[in-house]
Chains A and B, each alone.
Chain A
Amino acid sequence: MQTYFIELSYLLASILFILGLKGLSHPETAKRGMHLAEFGMLMAIIGTLMHHEIVSYTWIITGLAIGSLIGLAMGVWVPMTAMPQRTALSHAFGAFAAALVGISEFYRSGGHLETITMSALGFEVMLGSLTTTGSLLAFAKLQGLVRGTPLTYRGQNIFNMALLALTIGIFIYLVVVPGSMPLFFTMVGLAFVFGLLLVLPIGAADMPVVMSLLNSYAGLASAATGFVLSNNVLIIAGTLDGFSGFILSILMCRAMNRSITNVLFGAFGSAATATGRDGPQGTMREVSMEDIATQMAYAKQVVFVPGYGMATAQAQHTVRELAQVLEKRGVTVKYGIHPVAGRMPGHMNVLLAEANVPYSSLYELEQINPEFPSTDVAVVIGANDVVNPDARDNPSSPIAGMPILEVDRAKSVVVLKRGQGKGFSGLENPLFFKPVTGMLYGDAKDTLSRLVQAVQEA
């Protein structure tokens, strides 16, 4: 009877999780969908508390209480600009939990597990461990605790591959010859180290792919836990998470015209400076605030193209303010969002939504590109590679073939940039040297608020 109740609560949770994710296909239905998923989670937890093996609730309640407090604090206080860091941290927590459950199961059985269970457990613990440290390093890079530039050394890929091969070798040995506790913990340790080495050579600009990939690993670790515990809701939820991350990684890679292997082992940014010498010639034209303000004030259509620079300058509210001033004058304002702008999938959309920009003005790459020729002013805010025309025009460019926002087709382009330096990828951007392009240097937020004033006076 009790078992039936637990299994039914899991079935209900599975259904509600799927309905919840289905709700995310549209912003209107998303909130309700999430409430369904939350209810499903509650049911599953209540069901589990009736499990017959549980003899003491002390540690369960303590864990639930501490976790809820920390989770709530994070949920309420984390600013939207820090969303990539928060997500990286939660991948680490999820994966760590999966790894711990796996370690506990192995220890409890004294290492003598059936072949099938041991295979699933090995996957769970390996994926869980490497995702934990990998996500923590990603967190440190995003938070600025560690430099975001890729860290590479000679023979890095060979060393990493050898380490991975050793880890998998131990795993296979443990499946065939079960029972060795020291070997098991060696495997766990190696997986922890491998996670760090995996993320070390990856640059800040590639973070959207890595975030999606770590998301996928964390989900698959949960699914493997489901195999170990023969628990279907765990398999379903873990697989949904794993595949969501996988689909996002593919989308992000496609948006950069690169393969996953290239992102993981290419160490972009260190090798990409080869084209430096014969780069674009000419000078960047700095323009005056008044000129731009007049152009914008009398434009028919202005398109904003935000990048990570907008997030670091926390300029989303000022962008919105400028847009409102323009809209009041009858200017049509749109926003062009590149899939890999920012540090995680959908980063820019969330920031603009926070600043009260209606989602009907946010346009995807394919939607906004045909509009640039009829756009009077395109304003690039702290974006670089996603508007680099070299990706389209120069087949020898390291980013050749990457779909870009074609702002250079607009009648006039304004680039808001912190300084004259290159982007994160270290590539020259010919856009900055084009005659249609005007540069405005300085902190994006500051520049924008002065623009608001100038437009109001124009």
Chain B
Amino acid sequence: MSTESLITALYVFVLAAFLGYQVISRVPPLLHTPLMSATNAISGISLVGSIVTAGAHYNMLSTILGFTAVTCSTINVVGGFVITDRMLKMFKRKPAISPKDKAAQLKSADSADSDHNK
């Protein structure tokens, strides 16, 4: 790495840090767990480094290490995104009415002294 490309890389690093601070401090505590799994999946982008290492035939050791790294990063990328999606699907403003709840609601509507207030 030359001095110039180091300076460019430092620019990118510092600007990304400022941007990260701005963007992430706006994430409410409600979503801190999804945030953690999302950033985890995103930083699985180190996969692109591992892919080159695994496919370039530098030497035997590099290929083995690269292959292991590809596997580990892919677990993070796929697992991280799938789990983040799964979690975010659960966050609802209004409760979803499951069949069981619906039955219970109908039952309470039937009874005369239903003091349901919304």
Contact = CB atoms under 8 A, between A and B. Distances in A.
A1 interface: no
A195 to B, nearest CB: 16
B80 A357 contact: no
B36 interface: yes
Nearest to A21: B23
A72 B33 contact: no
Interface residues of B, number: 92
Contacts of A120: 1
Contact of B21 (A64, A117, A243): A243
A241 B40 contact: yes
Interface string B45-68: 111111111111111011101111
Contact of B55 (A44, A55, A364): A55
B52 A53 contact: yes
Pick from B28, B77, B93, B114 the residue with the most CB of A within 10 Å: B77
Nearest to B44: A94
B72 A96 contact: yes
Nearest to A62: B67
Given A56-B55, A67-B70, A324-B101, A30 B40 contact: no
Contacts of A101: 46, 49-50, 53, 65-66, 69
Given A215-B36, A235-B9, A27 B91 contact: yes
Interface stretch (A257-265, A275-283, A346-354, A398-406): A346-354
Contacts of A80: 87, 90
Given A101-B50, A116-B1, A107 B42 contact: no
Given A13-B45, A120-B1, A356-B98, A67 B52 contact: no
Contact of A350 (B74, B78, B90, B95): B90
Interface in A36-87: 37-38, 41, 44-45, 47-49, 51, 53-57, 59-60, 62-64, 66-68, 70-72, 74-76, 78, 80, 83, 86-87
A71 B76 contact: yes
A70 B80 CA distance: 11
Contact of B75 (A38, A90, A215, A344): A90
Interface stretch (A225-233, A418-426, A428-436): A225-233
A412 interface: no
A2 interface: no
B102 to A, nearest CB: 12
Contacts of B75: 67, 70-71, 74, 90, 93
A78 B33 CA distance: 14
A101 to B, nearest CB: 5
Contact of B30 (A34, A59, A349): A349
Contacts of B31: 24, 27, 30, 346, 349
A248 B34 CA distance: 12
The A interface, classified by DSSP as helix, strand, loop or mixed, is helix
A59 B49 contact: no
Contacts of B89: 31
A381 interface: no
B42 A349 contact: no
B34 A24 contact: yes
Contacts of A87: 33, 36-37, 40
Interface stretch (A152-160, A168-176, A216-224): A216-224
Interface string B78-116: 111111111111111111101001001000100000111
Contact of B72 (A93, A116, A364): A93
Contacts of B9: 226-227, 230, 232, 235
Pick from A38, A54, A63 the residue with the most CB of B within 10 Å: A63
A104 B53 contact: yes
A247 interface: yes
Given A67-B73, A227-B9, A243-B17, A358 B40 contact: no
A53 B33 contact: no
B10 to A, nearest CB: 9
Nearest to B24: A244
A339 B33 CA distance: 11
A51 B52 contact: yes
A239 interface: yes
Contacts of A239: 13, 16-17, 20
Nearest to A86: B83
Contact of A54 (B28, B56, B73, B93): B56
B48 A44 contact: yes
A18 B48 contact: no
Contacts of A47: 48
Given A55-B55, A57-B55, 5 more contacts: A37-B38, A41-B77, A71-B78, A90-B79, A228-B1
7 contacts: A86-B83, A90-B79, A97-B47, A116-B1, A222-B45, A346-B31, A359-B92
The 9 A-B pairs of least Cβ separation, nearest first, read A67-B74, A75-B82, A71-B78, A63-B70, A346-B32, A71-B79, A54-B55, A346-B33, A345-B32
